[in-house]
Structure formats: structure tokens, C-alpha cells
Chain A
Amino acid sequence: MAKITLSKLRHSYLSTPKSDSDYALQEIDLDWNDGGAYALLGPSGCGKSTLLNIISGLLVPSEGKILFDGQDVTALPPDQRNIAQVFQFPVIYDTMTVYDNLAFPLRNRGRDEATVRQRVMAIAEMLEVTDMLDQKAAGLSPDNKQKISMGRGLVREDVNVVMFDEPLTVIDPHLKWKLRSKLKELHQRVKATMIYVTHDQTEALTFAEQVVVMQLGEVVQIGTPVELFERPAHTFVGHFIGSPGMNILPCTLQHGAAVFAGQAIPLEGPIQGEAGGQSEIGIRPEFVSLADHGVPATVTKVSDVGRHTVVQCEAGGCRINAVTEGGTPAKGSSVHLAFRQDMTRLYVDSWIATAPAADKQGAA
């Protein structure tokens, strides 16, 4: 187990990258604490798998260093880093039994059979696969195969970090949930650092204590699930996380106040920095309510999603979603929308530009 430090890491698949856009991974400085559960969240092609392969040693970064507990491992091959990786498609050795699959990494490292047996039995019990140990691994169902490939990582007692590269992609929906809670349980039992790569926000937010959100090869925010939800640092995080995502409304700034659709919108706190670029108001649908006064809007669609209703409105040429409970207006009716002030953020050039109100900051 180890603390993982990424220092000034950058990677390009080209041999001579010229501009920033040639880099699949923009410069990253990051610390992952020993024993933490982390998620790397982002859409396909955002560089999260590249980052994962750099940590595991399958890829050597163009620039920067990776440290495990302060020790530089940038040049070490994967088998010497003591890491485990679970891939999107379960990798199992077809011709071997489940037992031999689990024993494989230990036998490759020359452990004696008694140690191997003891470790394999312990891991098999943890994964609840003890009754399949004598079976050929080829005949297992996808979720069990994925468990075995996970087990091959966990079987080594000296494992620094376990990495999951979208491990639930090929798993049936009803088993996804089961396997996910198994993962969480395993993390609590083995206390290894775990990094979980996914494009599915539910998976990331339920698994991780800290989520790293990536877009276009760049880390846009690192935070707890609550932080990502409540204060997205970037509009991308706002609309990528949440269902529906954050409402992003273009606005103008007049005398330090945001104006949208001819109405001054009260923000959570003072605007910070140079307000020179393109400004947008960000408010989550959960904090938009139908009121007697506020921004006038027309209801364009009402969808009942079970526990609550998503009311889609149009105001000032923009679409605004509001999540409501109870009575809903009819389609086409005119309503007023109220924004909860302490949840209304301002973004300048996509990055957050408001600070929380002074009294709230003091309380926190």
C-alpha cells in the first residue's frame, strides 16, 4: 500500500508534440492517499485510461514523474510496481482452473505452494468463489470472471494500488449493483488504495471518497461527491454530473450583478477575479423552483421520473430544468422560476467565479 504522487505529469502519443492539443493528458499534479477510494470520471476519450496506464506502468509518460511513497517508479515495468489492474473485459486464463488463475501471480513470483494456497483460499472466500475453485475458468459467467480477475490483483499481499478500468461494462445490470457493493466492501477489508475509472457518474459517486473529473485530457475538479454536486468548479462538471445536469445560462454582468433575461439574479456571494470573459449562471435543477415571481418562463415539457418531476422550461432563449415534487404545471403554461440564492454560481470562461457568502464561509 502506498501513497501515489503524480508530479508534473504530461503525456502525448506523438513523438514530438508541438502544441497543448497534441497532449492526450495535460499537466497533472495529484496526490492519492494511502488506502483511499478514488474515481476517475470523464467521458470517453478524456484521457482517463491513459492516466491509468501510466500509473500501472503500461505506458511511460512523456514528461513528469510518478512516485509511490515518495519513490520514483516512472521507469519501472508493471510487474515491479506491485499494482493490480482490472480491465473492462474480464481477463482470465481460459485453460486454467479458478484456483490456478488466482495462484498465477504468486507462482510467477516464485512463492511456495503453502503460501499460495493460504492466500488463494483467503481471497476466494472474500470474493465468495470458494465453491468454484476447481472449475475451469472459461466456463464462468462474466461477473464471476471479473471477480476472478480482481482476485488475481488482490491475491498479492504487497499490492500498492488496485485499479479498475470500467470493470462493470460487460456485466448485466442486475449484477452490476451487487459487484459494486462487493468492491466497496473489499476496499474496506483490504484497505488498499483503489482507483476506479469510469464514465458512469453513479458508479464513480457511489464508489469513491474522492472523485477526479477529467475532460479533454485535463483534470477539471477533484472533490467529494457532495462537493462535485454542490459546487462544480467548472461548467463541465456541472452538466456532466447530475441528472439532469446543471442549468448553464449565459448572462451579462452589470455593476457586479448577473443579469439574465432582463432580471438581476442574486448570486451566492461576491464575484472574484477579473470578470472579463464569457459569463454564465450555473444552478442545479434541484435548486430551481416554481414561484409567484422570478424569471418568467414557459413550460415546454414535463417528465415524471418517479420520485420527482422534471419540468423543462424556456426563458430568455435558454432551456432551464427544474426538479419539483408535488403539483406540476401543464405544458405551455407560463410560470415564474426562483433560484435558491446560496446555490446560484457564476462561471466566467467556464470556471467558477463566485465565492460563497462571507457568513457561510465563516460557518464552514
Chain B
Amino acid sequence: MKTENQKAWFFVLPVLLLVAFNALIPMMTVVNYSVQETFGDNVFFWQGLDWFQQILRSDRFHAALGRQFLFTFLILIIEVPLGIAIALSMPRSGFWVPVCLVLMALPMLIPWNVVGAMWNIFTLPDIGLLGYFLNHVLGINYDMTQDPIAAWVTIVTMDVWHWTSLVVLLAYAGLVSIPDAYYQAAKIDGASNWAVFRFIQLPKMKTVLTIAILLRFMDSFNIYTEPFVLTGGGPGNSTTLLSIDLVKIALGQFDLGPAAAMSLIYFAITLLVSWLFYTLMTKDDLN
């Protein structure tokens, strides 16, 4: 009979430990909190699915979720077409290529809280460059600490400024990988610029764009630092996105149970949307 050597399992052990400590154990802790009530001192009372019910029925959660979807929708609808347009207008070869690439990469290199602080100062009505210009030169009443619309315009603009580059760089990578023969064939076939975009460039960019949209969806859906530094969720609750609300419940009110249940729901939504999107986008490739 063949003797089985089980030593190979040792090779898997480091990965197992790593995943356990940075994902499984923290996750299970959250699960643990989400079904119990605690008043400190490590005393827990079984609560079942009460917290989940409470969160799912709460108007506050619905409102934050709605704002979250609105924010993600807005930035995707702006960043993806804008990113493609910028990538299309960038040079494909020559001296300006590295210049454009570095300029594009710059916003992404800035830490998130610095971006928030920068835009905060930038938009201050009396001393910020943009705020002063809008209020005192153009005469538009703009103050994001008072006006929800102004606050929304600011956080969306900030995200567009910070992250459109990611879409640009990925779309550009897709574009430069298209062999010249495609453009030459299209010229000979008498294709218009629109047809070249629709039938050559867009299909060839599809894979990288799927990744770009997926990354932008996940990042914007989980965004915390920038709006927290910029508006702190205000004025009122007008820019309180899911993550900001979550932190308020967990660390502000110290409601660990509901906060844990909310995190799990939040996680499930992110996962579900990402999965749906990816499955739909790659459905054709599998056939």
C-alpha cells in the first residue's frame, strides 16, 4: 500500500496563519459582536438576529445607503467617461507620454486624509482659493458647511480629481495595446472615428475597464477618510455615507452590536454588487 506523506500541509500553514490573522479572526469577531449585546467587561448576552433586523428596518441606515449609492453612481458616471476621454486624447508615443503619465499619477500618490484637508482649505469661503473665487469674484453663494448641494458638489469633485487618473491609466494601457493594423484596417474599411471607438477601442478596453469600474466601485462604496476630513458627514447628515455612519455608531455611540451587524450587511452589499457586475461583464468571454 502506498504510504501517504502529509508533510505538504506545512507549506500551506504560513498562508493559513496569515489569512486567519488578517481576515478570518477579525471577521469572526465582528460576527460574534453582531449576534450579542455587551456592556463591557467581556460580558455578553445572546441577541440572535435582532441587530440585523433593527439595522435593515432603520430609516437612518436606508438614508445612508441611499446617499452611498448616489455618491458611487455619480462618481462612476463622471469618472469612467471622463477617464476614457482623457486616455483617448493622450499621445501614444513621443516626448509627452511620460509627462502625461506622471501628471496623471500625481493625484493618486497623495494620502487620502491630505486630499481631504487640501480640499477643505481650497474650498473655504473666505480664504480658500476656490471658495474665495466663487464667493467674491463670481458672486456665487458657496459654503459647503451650510449648503448640502455645495457639500455634495465638493466631495464628488474631489473624488473625480483624486481618482479619474486610475481610469485614465487603465484605459490608456488598454489603448496602447491595440496593434496598428487595426487602425489601418479600419481606415481601409472606411470606418468613421465613432466606429473605430465603438468596434475597436471600446472592445479592446473592455477588460481593463471592467477592472477600473470594479476598483472604483469598491473604493467609492467604502470611502471614508476624504469625506470625513472634508465635511465630517455634514452639513447635518447630508454627506453621511455608510462608512461615516458606521463609525459614528461603533465609536461614537459605542453600539458594538448594531455596528457589527451593519458592517456585515455593508460587506455583503459590496460583495454582491461586485460579483453581479463582474459576472455580467465577463459573461460573454466564457462562451
A84→B184 CA distance, assembly (Å): 11
If A89-B179, A91-B181 touch, does A84 touch B188 (CB 8 Å cutoff)? yes
If A88-B181, A89-B181 touch, does A78 touch B187 (CB 8 Å cutoff)? yes
Residues 133-155 (chain A) with a chain B CB within 8 angstroms: 136, 139, 149, 152-153
A332→B169 CA distance, assembly (Å): 65
Give the size range of A's interface with the partner.
Answer: 20 to 34
Is A104 engaged at the interface, CB distance under 8 Å to the other chain? yes
Contacting residues, chain A, for B181 (C-beta < 8 A): 87-89, 91
Is B185 engaged at the interface, CB distance under 8 Å to the other chain? yes
Q: How far is the CB of A118 from chain B (nearest CB, A)?
A: 19
Among A77, A91, A94, A96, point to the contact of B185 (Cβ < 8 A).
Answer: A91
Is B66 engaged at the interface, CB distance under 8 Å to the other chain? no
Asked whether, in the complex, the Cβ of B184 is within 8 Å of the Cβ of A58, the reply is yes
A95→B192 CA distance, assembly (Å): 17
Contacting residues, chain A, for B199 (C-beta < 8 A): 93, 95-96, 104
Residues 160-182 (chain B) with a chain A CB within 8 angstroms: 179, 181-182
Asked whether, in the complex, the Cβ of A87 is within 8 Å of the Cβ of B185, the reply is yes
Asked whether, in the complex, the Cβ of B190 is within 8 Å of the Cβ of A79, the reply is yes
Contacting residues, chain A, for B185 (C-beta < 8 A): 85, 87, 91, 149, 152
Contacting residues, chain A, for B179 (C-beta < 8 A): 89
Residues 43-93 (chain A) with a chain B CB within 8 angstroms: 53, 56, 58, 77-79, 83-85, 87-89, 91, 93
If A96-B199, A108-B192, A108-B195 touch, does A91 touch B182 (CB 8 Å cutoff)? yes
Is B203 engaged at the interface, CB distance under 8 Å to the other chain? yes
Asked whether, in the complex, the Cβ of B189 is within 8 Å of the Cβ of A58, the reply is no
A59→B71 CA distance, assembly (Å): 48
1/0 per residue B147-171: CB within 8 Å of A? 0000000000000000000000000
Is A255 engaged at the interface, CB distance under 8 Å to the other chain? no
Residues of B in contact, count (CB < 8 Å) = 17
Is B191 engaged at the interface, CB distance under 8 Å to the other chain? yes
A84→B192 CA distance, assembly (Å): 17
Name the residue of chain B whose CB is nearest to the CB of A53: B184
Is B63 engaged at the interface, CB distance under 8 Å to the other chain? no
A79→B186 CA distance, assembly (Å): 9
Among A53, A84, A108, A136, point to the contact of B191 (Cβ < 8 A).
Answer: A108
Contacting residues, chain A, for B204 (C-beta < 8 A): 94
Contacting residues, chain A, for B287 (C-beta < 8 A): 136, 139
Q: How far is the CB of A280 from chain B (nearest CB, A)?
A: 40
Contacting residues, chain B, for A149 (C-beta < 8 A): 185
Is B130 engaged at the interface, CB distance under 8 Å to the other chain? no
Q: How far is the CB of A136 from chain B (nearest CB, A)?
A: 8
Q: How far is the CB of B113 from chain A (nearest CB, A)?
A: 42
Name the residue of chain A whose CB is nearest to the CB of B202: A95
Q: How far is the CB of A58 from chain B (nearest CB, A)?
A: 5
Is B86 engaged at the interface, CB distance under 8 Å to the other chain? no
Is B105 engaged at the interface, CB distance under 8 Å to the other chain? no
Is A294 engaged at the interface, CB distance under 8 Å to the other chain? no
Contacting residues, chain B, for A91 (C-beta < 8 A): 181-182, 184-185
Asked whether, in the complex, the Cβ of A58 is within 8 Å of the Cβ of B200, the reply is no
Asked whether, in the complex, the Cβ of B188 is within 8 Å of the Cβ of A104, the reply is no
Q: How far is the CB of B169 from chain A (nearest CB, A)?
A: 23
A108→B196 CA distance, assembly (Å): 11
Which residues of B line the A interface, CB within 8 A?
179, 181-182, 184-185, 187-192, 195, 199-200, 203-204, 287
For the complex of A and B, the 3 pairs showing the least CB-CB separation, nearest first, are: A79-B190, A108-B190, A91-B185
Query: Given A94-B203, A139-B287, 20 other A-B contacts at CB below 8 A?
Result: A56-B188, A58-B184, A58-B187, A77-B187, A78-B184, A79-B190, A84-B188, A85-B185, A87-B184, A88-B181, A91-B182, A94-B204, A104-B189, A104-B199, A105-B188, A105-B189, A105-B190, A136-B287, A149-B185, A152-B189
Would you give 5 A-B contacts (Cβ < 8 Å), ordered by A?
A: A77-B187, A78-B188, A85-B185, A105-B189, A108-B195
